[in-house]
Amino acid sequence: MDLELSGKKALITGGSRGIGKAIALELAKEGVDIAIAARDLDALDSAARDIAPVMGRRDVGARAFGPGLRARRYNLSGIGRNLVAVRADTTSDEDVQTLVEIAADELGGIDILVNNAAAPGGLVGGGLAHANTDDLLADIDTKVVGYLRCAKAVAPYMQRQGWGRIIIIGGLAARNSGTYSGLRNLSLVHMTKTMSSELGQYGITVNTIHPGTTITERSGPMYEAQAQQQGVTREDVEAQLASGIAVGRIIDASEVAYVVAFIASPKAGSVTGEAIATGGGVGSAVHQ
């Protein structure tokens, strides 16, 4: 199936590593021009240098530009593609506004927004007695309000062109009790449906993708540390995690990216306002 993504333009927040970077790589492979954003410009630079070869250019030069030299444009001249990295904190209205202006200018518009920037697991992991309210507000500011900031800034571009895809990376903590930070993922489901109802008339779809436990660059060291703590092997830790997953293995970030690429495609125009899990069938609860 041709996903018809070639020539589209995507902004991916949290694109410097993990799931966001995997999504940027997958969309780039599909012929999409890419803007990635995060707070650490060096990490963005390193991700951009991994993305450029997928777009057809190795050893790219970069030019810094923008207020406070917060952006880098990668030299893909001659192959008709665009790649840009922008330092931005999605908890700041001003940063988000500047980010979206730079991305739209550099790419010539924005067709796809992937809202992904947030701390996996969130900041409030303990019980009620230890739940820090400032941490919970920070979680909500980054993941719920941060995603809304980006959607609010990008939507006018999509409305003007009469087409767009807003993809919200949530998390399966939305469907399980356990951590207070999990409530941010459920809030995203409500926001998804509300936005999809408002923006559908402009040809814009809005969907949440809920990853479960997902393998990223963080996973190896994290499983090693858990194994040491528990006095078991890393393989034991991985087997324990996989045992609760219907497909019997931990899902890789690239597999989340495949689903995002489909939802970003013009072929997925019938899907909006939905929350789609990519956790490999973890858990036994039934969801309508």
Binding site for ligand NAP (CB under 6 A): 13-14, 16-20, 38-40, 43, 88-91, 116-120, 142-143, 169, 171, 211, 213-214, 216, 218
Cβ neighbours for 92, distance < 8 A, ≥ 6 positions apart? none
Q: Which is nearer to ligand NAP, 201 or 243 (CB)?
A: 243
Q: How far is the CB of 279 from ligand NAP (least distance, A)?
A: 8
Q: Which is nearer to ligand NAP, 5 or 250 (CB)?
A: 250
Q: Which is nearer to ligand NAP, 100 or 269 (CB)?
A: 100
Ordered strands of the 62-65 beta sheet: 62-65, 71-74, 83-87, 33-38, 9-13, 112-115, 164-169, 204-210, 275-277
Helix (H) or strand (E) holding 133: helix 133-140
Q: Which is nearer to ligand NAP, 56 or 220 (CB)?
A: 220
Residue number closest to ligand NAP, CB atom: 18
Measured in degrees and rounded to the nearest 5, phi and psi for residue 178 equal 145, -45
State how far the Cα of 214 lies from the Cα of 173, in Å rounded to an integer: 13
Q: How far is the CB of 151 from ligand NAP (least distance, A)?
A: 14
Q: How far is the CB of 6 from ligand NAP (least distance, A)?
A: 25
Q: How far is the CB of 131 from ligand NAP (least distance, A)?
A: 18
Helix (H) or strand (E) holding 220: helix 219-230
Q: Which is nearer to ligand NAP, 38 or 100 (CB)?
A: 38
State how far the Cα of 258 lies from the Cα of 129, in Å rounded to an integer: 40
Residue type (1 letter), 56:
G
Q: How far is the CB of 162 from ligand NAP (least distance, A)?
A: 29
Residue of 203, 121, 218 lying closest to 170 (CA atoms):
121
Q: How far is the CB of 115 from ligand NAP (least distance, A)?
A: 8
Q: Which is nearer to ligand NAP, 81 or 149 (CB)?
A: 149
State how far the Cα of 105 lies from the Cα of 125, in Å rounded to an integer: 40
Cβ neighbours for 221, distance < 8 A, ≥ 6 positions apart? none
